[in-house]
Chains A and B, each alone.
Chain A
Amino acid sequence: MTRQDFLARLRAGLRGLAPAALTEIVSDYEAHFDEAAAAGRDEAGVAQALGDPDRLARELKAQASLTRWETERNPSAAANALFAVLGLGAIDILILLPIVMSVIGTLFGLAIAAAALVAVGAALMIAGPFVVHGAPIAALILAGLGLIFTGACIGALTAVASIACTHATVWYGRLHLRLLKPVLDVQGAAA
């Protein structure tokens, strides 16, 4: 592999990073090639000694998205971190995929159920007195409120579980990448 190939593959793998970070990373590797050339090493040998640029790019990206998840805890950062860690092949995807899919599926189902309960509760509260005849209005409103609270409760629990799952994945990613800070750190940040 030539220097050009290595840098091109690295750049391609880093697509999606902030431009400043990308430039900085690429210039680190360019400097490495320059220094190696000055030391009289041949280009192909240097590229080989550096390692697989795709793998390096995945590692750098995973690191960036883990950092992002630690500073801005939102669903998009979480998804980013999750996929970056999965993309590393750090976790054997064939073994893990069924588990991940069922966990994500369950969480998604719970979120939908929570939303549905809230919607039905609201409908019952507002439209109930006009549609259902013979039932006391107060009972309908209370039933509606009950459904809304149940829904909200399930929703909140789902959110907590999702955050816990993301933490677990991020923690595993750090462990695997040896990006590990003590687990206590992660827990401290979560608290």
Chain B
Amino acid sequence: MAEAVQVQLKKGVLELCVLALLSRSDAYGYDIASRLADGIEMGEGTIYPLMRRLQGDGLVETYLIESAAGPPRKYYRLTGAGRERFTAQSAEWTQFSSAVNAILGGAQ
């Protein structure tokens, strides 16, 4: 149960984290996957279903850039709708996490 909750929590914030990364700069799949996997210990593979969904929802779009080694890289960038979603979600997150922190702090 505790494990399931953790998975759900991580999945929930994963989208926000990806939007946050992309709001700073465009990035390609491997880059996003490895940076997030370091931070929040998720299967790196989960990034790709998420990217497909974000693309399907019109929050990100892709373009190809030639890379020095091997085939061109597929970069993701936020769309206008993606930026709006990021602003809304990060505000929600800040509010939510500070409420939880206040309660946790009060319990100590």
Contacts and interface: CB of A to CB of B under 8 A. Distances in A.
Interface string A30-56: 011011101100000010011111001
Given A29-B45, A31-B30, 4 more contacts: A35-B31, A38-B70, A178-B8, A179-B53
Contact of B48 (A56, A177, A181): A56
B45 A51 contact: yes
A32 B51 CA distance: 13
B49 interface: yes
Contacts of B83: none
A28 B46 contact: no
Interface stretch (A59-67, A77-85, A130-138, A164-172): A59-67
Given A38-B70, A63-B52, A178-B15, A50 B29 contact: no
Q: How big is the B interface, by class? A: 20 to 34
Interface of A: 25, 28-29, 31-32, 34-36, 38-39, 46, 49-53, 56, 59-60, 63, 67, 176-179, 181
Contact of B29 (A32, A38, A51, A179): A32
A10 to B, nearest CB: 9
Chain A interface, DSSP helix/strand/loop, else mixed? helix
B59 to A, nearest CB: 11
A28 B37 contact: no
B11 A178 contact: yes
B106 interface: no
Contacts of B49: 56, 59-60, 63
Contact of B43 (A39, A50, A63, A176): A50
A36 B30 contact: yes
Contacts of A56: 43, 45-46, 48-49
A34 B71 contact: yes
B56 interface: yes
A39 B49 CA distance: 23
A31 B74 contact: yes
B39 interface: no
Given A28-B29, A38-B70, A67-B56, A178 B45 contact: no
